[in-house]
Amino acid sequence: MKYFLDSAKMDEIKEAYETFGIDGVTTNPNHIMLSGKPFKTAIQDMADWAKEQGFKDYNDFPISVEVNPHLETAEEMINMAREIAKVSPCFVIKIPCTEAGCEAARKLEKEGIRVNLTLVFSPAQALFAGKYGCKFVSPFIGWKEANGEDCKQYIEDIVDIYANYGFLGETEIIGAAIRTPKQFVDCAVAGVDCVTAGLAVYKDAMHHPYTNQGMVKFTNAWDNTEGN
């Protein structure tokens, strides 16, 4: 399962890459706002860092960048996607799962610009990304569970549907907006290709109180071993 970082902050991207070996980055307009930089600067900084690391393209290290949410027509989204795609070969374009977005996603994939179909909240929506051969589909989990829905079945249904129609591996499923370690586990059990989460969630998933207790016990033992 690939681990993507949900952030446009360079310090978080660097830390997550060094510490957890993340496989890619996903962003949305909210992450860009939180980076404190204008859109063009934020995406250029990510592009420059990816180049410094020696990543060749989105197969090496995908960075999802979302189009302006004000855009209403497919043509407008396609034009902006083309501009974003020129900035870095690592960029995959996030397109919202609306009617205009689906048209844009289908046409962009036909011209070779890779798409992450985002703001997906149902298996019916996720099917479109598979049909259009999008690089990624992002079914949101954290937002739904924050509203009291249990997403286990939803994510398993998407994996089953993708298996039924040969979409698995062609369109990679990203369990998106992961907020808890349990949501990581639900995604892994369902067999999704990738998850995306903020840095704090990766830190939470890495920690366990018994590991801390074990470290205290073994440190004491080390210190009380004759000759150490």
By annotation, the residues acting in catalysis are 94
In this chain, which stretch among 26-34, 71-79, 83-91, 158-166 interacts with ligand E4P, using CB under 6 A?
26-34
Q: Which is nearer to ligand E4P, 182 or 217 (CB)?
A: 182
How many residues line the site for ligand E4P (CB under 6 A)?
A: 11
Site residues for ligand E4P, 41-60, by CB under 6 A, read none
Q: Please pick, from the candidates 35, 88, 138, 171, the single residue that binds ligand E4P as defined by CB under 6 A.
A: 138
Residue with Cβ nearer ligand E4P (65 or 127): 65
Binding ligand E4P (rule: CB under 6 A), the pick from 32, 46, 47, 177 is: 177
Closest to ligand E4P by CB, 88 or 196: 196
Site for ligand E4P (CB under 6 A): which residue of 35, 171, 183, 196?
196
What is the SS3 string spanning the chain? CEEEEECCCHHHHHHHHHHHCCCEEECCHHHHHHHCCCHHHHHHHHHHHHHHHCCCCCCCCCEEEECCCCCCCHHHHHHHHHHHHHHCCCEEEEEECCHHHHHHHHHHHHCCCCEEEEEECCHHHHHHHHHCCCCEEEEECHHHHHCCCCCHHHHHHHHHHHHHCCCCCCCEEEEEEECCHHHHHHHHHHCCCEEEECHHHHHHHHCCHHHHHHHHHHHHHHHCCCCC
State the residues that interact with ligand E4P by CB under 6 A: 6, 26, 28, 30, 64, 118, 138, 176-177, 196, 198
